[in-house]
Structure 1
Amino acid sequence: MKVIDISIAIIKNAQHHFLITLRPDASHQGGKWEFPGGKIEIDETPEQAMCRELYEEVGLTASQYQLFEKLFFDYGDKQLNLYFYLVEDFTGEASGKEGQPLKWVSKSQLAEYAFPEANLSVIAKL
């Protein structure tokens, strides 16, 4: 089974709220909330992928970020290398550029949303 490399942006605003988006029902782990992100292309680094996906999905440009967590996760039908970046400074106004709902939630509110299992240890670490 091919391992898929994924880069993810954990966006934290000045009010210490986090940006989450809803996965389309038809996608893997559909109907769950997530941090914006996506597959790393062949010619890019995890960092470049995070910046590209962040802009493509929600229209934000990351200006201050660091690698927060790297982990491997096996869903059985998919194996993933996940790179989570904590983005603490950015420009732009967040909008669902692919039609997906999004919201800003506090750290304590994250527990109220269903996330893919691979995200749970990272949310706990926040």
Structure 2
Amino acid sequence: MDQPIHVAVGVLIDDKNCVLLARRVKGTHLEGFWEFPGGKVEADESVEGALGRELQEELDIIIGETSPLLQVRHDYGEKQVLLDVHRVETWSGEPHGAEGQPLAWVGVGSLDNFQVPDANADIMTRVKTLLSAA
């Protein structure tokens, strides 16, 4: 079996207790689904390094402190992914869709209205717990 695609994923929660989701653009795997921002970890990168690079490219922000939340392995059939999920505790800049992707700050009561890839189900459960505890 091929090695899974290693992906760094960021969970950003703002001061209004909303989490940031990005919509996958047309022409991408699972287009139209909402996801937590992030991207592939390159061979010479740490997860934190990849997360910083990806969020700068995707959201035009500089991340500060992060903390690991969970790891998720998922098999889509045609490919497998390993999601390394970190909560981004601090960042500078105002997140925006630097690659043209729509963004949404979503409260816990609205999360179920956003269709996410199957691999994100465990992340959603953890995020709901975080938002509900705040």
- Establish whether TM, by shorter chain, passes 0.5: yes
SS at match of 2:90: strand
Identity between Structure 1 and Structure 2 (%): 35
Equivalent positions of 1:8-27 (< 5 A) are: 8-27=9-28
SS at match of 2:7: strand
Structure 2 regions of 5+ residues with no counterpart? 128-134
> Are 1:92 and 2:108 counterparts?
no
- After superposition, what is the alpha-carbon deviation per residue over 1:47-101, rounded to whole angstroms, capped at 9, x for unaligned? 1101110111001111121010112111111101110111122110111110111
Matched-pair contact (CA < 8 Å) for 1:20–1:33? yes
SS at match of 1:121: helix
Runs of 4+ off more than 4 Å: none
Once residues 48 and 61 of structure 1 are traced to their aligned partners in structure 2, the CA distance between those partners, rounded to angstroms, is: 11
Report the structure, 1 or 2, having the larger strand content. 1
Equivalent positions of 1:111-126 (< 5 A) are: 111-126=112-127
Structure 1 regions of 5+ residues with no counterpart? none
Q: 2:37 matched to which residue of 1?
A: 36
Matched-pair contact (CA < 8 Å) for 1:22–1:31? yes
Equivalenced residue count is: 126
Q: 1:70 matched to which residue of 2?
A: 71
Q: TM-score, normalised by structure 2?
A: 0.89
CA RMSD of aligned residues (A): 1.0
Once residues 123 and 100 of structure 2 are traced to their aligned partners in structure 1, the CA distance between those partners, rounded to angstroms, is: 26
Report the structure, 1 or 2, having the larger helix content. 2
Once residues 63 and 76 of structure 2 are traced to their aligned partners in structure 1, the CA distance between those partners, rounded to angstroms, is: 29
